[in-house]
Amino acid sequence: MLERVKKTVEFINTKIDQQPKIGIILGTGLGGLVEEIEIEHNLPYEEIPEFPVSTVKGHAGSLIFGKLAGVNVVAMQGRFHYYEGYEMEEVTFPVRVMKMIGVETLLVSNASGGVNPSFDVGDIMIITDHINLMPNALIGKNYEEFGPRFPDMSEAYNKAIIKEATKIARNNNIKIQKGVYAAVTGPTFETPAEYKYIRTLGADTVGMSTVPEVIVARHMDMTCFAVSVISDLGVEGSIVEISHDEVIEAAKNAEPKMTLIIKELLATL
């Protein structure tokens, strides 16, 4: 994998002029943040050596380089998921690449199902911790060039950034929640019993992404911040049949608030 990452990095470095310090991964229905970026380079995934290609509706499939709030950023407009049939090494490959081209801080977004009874569809939840119910992304050979065999995860999500994002939301009268994100493989949405199980474990939301990316980012000593848009509810009495299109729609409705928080947050990093 190390050689594959190096090959991709070499290609990207021939295409970009400035090293980005901030990496952004945009989740389902949340790709509109790209419209706020002063785009300098747009690299479709299929043109990048060794890069997987996203197959999920709502994920455009481009690596975007430019400026957001005056900061050099690289944004994944569309991510990769374990349920697409990719190995964890492929799902998290772009995070490895981001680190090797200079990214120090990773901002991640997703759409998820709320299992906390106090949550509503459209709420924005800042992730304070996670529960990993997927295969760990670090299983297999460890490359010391990337990080230690047994990385610490006591602060997967940076407390200082969480504090700043909370302040930004409050100053803009944006309602936010905070909580724990549980990551499952998908691609099925959860049964009522599974929602109850996940809530019993201590989670506030459940989704099919983010955690592998954060684990790999922390393995490489990147600072992480993640935000989740509540696109549906897995709360007893509120569970209804849900489709992927409805998840995309709910995420898009909440996107302007999430975009505002991330833009103002970048100015402080």
For the chain, the helix, strand and coil percentages under 3-state DSSP, each to the nearest 5: 35, 25, 40
Phi/psi at 39 (5° precision): -75, 130
DSSP annotation of 14: T
DSSP string covering 33-84? GGGGSEEEEEEEGGGSTT-----STT---EEEEEEETTEEEEEEES---GGG
SS3 190: coil
Task: Quickly count: other Cβ atoms within 10 Å of residue 7's Cβ.
Answer: 14
For residue 242, pLDDT beyond 80 = no
Looking at the predicted structure, is the pLDDT value of residue 35 above 90? no
Q: What percent of the chain has pLDDT over 70?
A: 93
Closest CA to 43 of 65, 63, 22: 63
**Average pLDDT in the 196-208 region?**
97
Q: Mean pLDDT across the stretch 20-26?
A: 95
What is the domain count for the chain? 1
Average pLDDT over residues 107-131: 94
pLDDT at 59 over 70: no
* Confidence at residue 27, expressed as pLDDT on a 0 to 100 scale: 82
Type of residue numbered 68 = L
**68-87: average pLDDT:** 92
Residue 231: the pLDDT is 87
Sign of CA dihedral 87, 91, 97, 102: negative
CB 39 within 8 A of CB 63: no
Q: How far apart are CA 130 and CA 66, in angstroms?
A: 30
**pTM summary value:** 0.93
* % of the chain beyond a pLDDT of 90: 74
| Residue 219 domain boundaries | 2-266
Q: 223 by DSSP, 3-state: which?
A: strand
Q: For position 195, which CATH number holds? A: 3.40.50.1580
For 8, 14, 210, the CA distances from 127, given in Å and listed in that order, are 30, 35, 10
User: Is the predicted pLDDT of residue 239 greater than 90, yes or no?
Assistant: no
